[in-house]
């Protein structure tokens, strides 16, 4: 069994990005610049955004954090987005989700210029990804593709079962894993809450991508010997074994599933650290005008 060390791989990619940024700026290039908007003071959102800002610093990007009051009108947020869309110095823009209930996430996402949409949530980027054109890929699927590539896992002709059909993980994963590319070229089955026999379906899988958000859902008897298991779940559950009284738990019963796998990602330290790396890679591409001029 080989552990896919997402923490280590993500640090290696950050080193690579940092070195590309140094080379680029040494030859007179512009420093990549990410803007993040946070609305309100949700502690989880604060944590996520501060990690993103720190990651920018780590690789030599410039970052700008814009704070908007929780009780502000939606219009204020939309105007700020439009202003950043126009700002030639800013290459990428993200708006931390979720937003307060009186603001439409759909409207905000569609207002972000697709050329700066480094979260890959804008319909233009989703659509271009779907039809196989270059696009900013959403963070988690992009990170998983990188994990597979850098772990040297051959995917062509394999049966990949995806648990979950969310817009940010399940659906894009099914498009990426079935497309004519490496990694890719899998026969893909997408399962969800209406699937009748998830255990039986999983037992036929060479690769399982678990993204249900149900802690410990994937049990050992649902996994065939030698399978590759990618655990996207990350739920905070009570624990009497940690100082904080909480621990992060994936969708996979890791202890019992791991011995059967050829490769498996742990939680934490698997898929999680890759998501910020995806954001950095998208921002670097945006700065270099690699996808859109």
14 contacts 280 by C-beta, under 8 angstroms = yes
Residue 52 falls in the annotated catalytic set = yes
Q: Which is nearer to its own copies, 17 or 211 (CB)?
A: 211
Strands 246-249 and 235-238: antiparallel
Q: Which is nearer to its own copies, 14 or 171 (CB)?
A: 171
Q: Give least dist CB 245 to its own copies, A.
A: 35
Please select the residue that binds its own copies; options are 10, 63, 174, 278, rule is CB under 8 A: 174
CA distances from 263 to 48, 152, 259 (A): 28, 10, 9
Using CB under 8 A as the binding rule, whether residue 85 contacts its own copies is answered as no
Residue 88 falls in the annotated catalytic set = no
Q: Which of 119, 206, 251, 253 is catalytic?
A: 119
Report long-range pairs for 62-67 (Cβ below 8 Å, ≥24 apart). Answer: 62/31, 62/32, 62/33, 62/34, 63/33, 63/34, 63/35, 63/36, 64/33, 64/34, 64/35, 64/36, 64/90, 65/35, 65/36, 65/38, 66/35, 66/36, 66/37, 66/38, 67/37, 67/38
Interacting residues with its own copies between 193 and 252 (CB under 8 A)? 194-196, 201
Burial code (b: 16+ CB inside 10 Å, e: under 16) for 117-131 equals bbbbbbebbbebbee
Using CB under 8 A as the binding rule, whether residue 178 contacts its own copies is answered as yes
Residue 96 falls in the annotated catalytic set = yes
Interacting residues with its own copies between 114 and 153 (CB under 8 A)? 122-128, 130-133
What H or E segment, with its residue span, contains residue 53? helix 43-59
Q: Which is nearer to its own copies, 9 or 144 (CB)?
A: 144
Q: Which of 96, 116, 117, 171 is catalytic?
A: 96
Q: Which is nearer to its own copies, 3 or 124 (CB)?
A: 124
In sign, the C-alpha dihedral spanning 106, 108, 114, 116 is: negative
Using CB under 8 A as the binding rule, whether residue 26 contacts its own copies is answered as no
Please select the residue that binds its own copies; options are 167, 236, 237, 246, rule is CB under 8 A: 167
Size of the site for its own copies (CB under 8 A): 35
Applying CB under 8 A, which residues contact its own copies?
106, 122-128, 130-133, 156-157, 159, 165, 167, 171, 174-175, 178-180, 185-192, 194-196, 201
Please list the active-site residues.
52, 96, 119
């Amino acid at each position: 069994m080989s552990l896919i060390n997402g923490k280590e791989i993500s640090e290696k990619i950050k080193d690579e990005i940092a070195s590309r940024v140094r080379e680029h700026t040494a030859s007179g290039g512009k420093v990549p610049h990410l803007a993040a908007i946070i609305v309100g003071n949700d502690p989880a959102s604060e944590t996520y955004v501060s990690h993103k800002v720190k990651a920018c610093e780590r690789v030599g990007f410039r970052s700008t954090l814009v704070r908007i009051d929780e009780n502000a009108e939606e219009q204020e947020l939309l105007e700020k987005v439009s202003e950043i869309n126009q700002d030639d110095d800013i290459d990428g823009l993200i708006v931390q989700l979720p937003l307060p209930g009186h603001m439409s996430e759909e409207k905000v996402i569609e207002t972000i210029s697709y050329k700066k949409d480094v979260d890959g949530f804008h319909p233009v980027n989703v659509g271009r990804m779907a039809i196989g054109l270059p696009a900013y890929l959403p963070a988690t699927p992009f990170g998983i593709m990188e994990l597979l590539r850098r772990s040297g896992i051959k995917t062509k002709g394999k049966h990949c079962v995806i648990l979950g059909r969310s817009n940010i993980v399940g659906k894009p994963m099914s498009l990426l894993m079935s497309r004519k590319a490496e990694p890719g070229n899998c026969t893909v089955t997408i399962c969800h809450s209406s699937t009748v026999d998830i255990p039986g379906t999983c037992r036929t899988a060479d690769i399982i991508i678990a993204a249900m958000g149900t802690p410990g859902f994937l049990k050992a008897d649902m996994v065939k010997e030698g399978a590759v298991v990618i655990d996207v779940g990350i739920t905070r559950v009570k624990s009497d074994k940690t100082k904080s009284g909480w621990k992060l738990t994936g969708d996979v019963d890791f202890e019992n599933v791991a011995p059967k796998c050829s490769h498996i990602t742990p939680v934490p330290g698997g898929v999680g650290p890759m998501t910020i790396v995806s954001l950095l890679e998208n921002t670097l591409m945006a700065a270099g005008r690699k996808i859109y001029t």
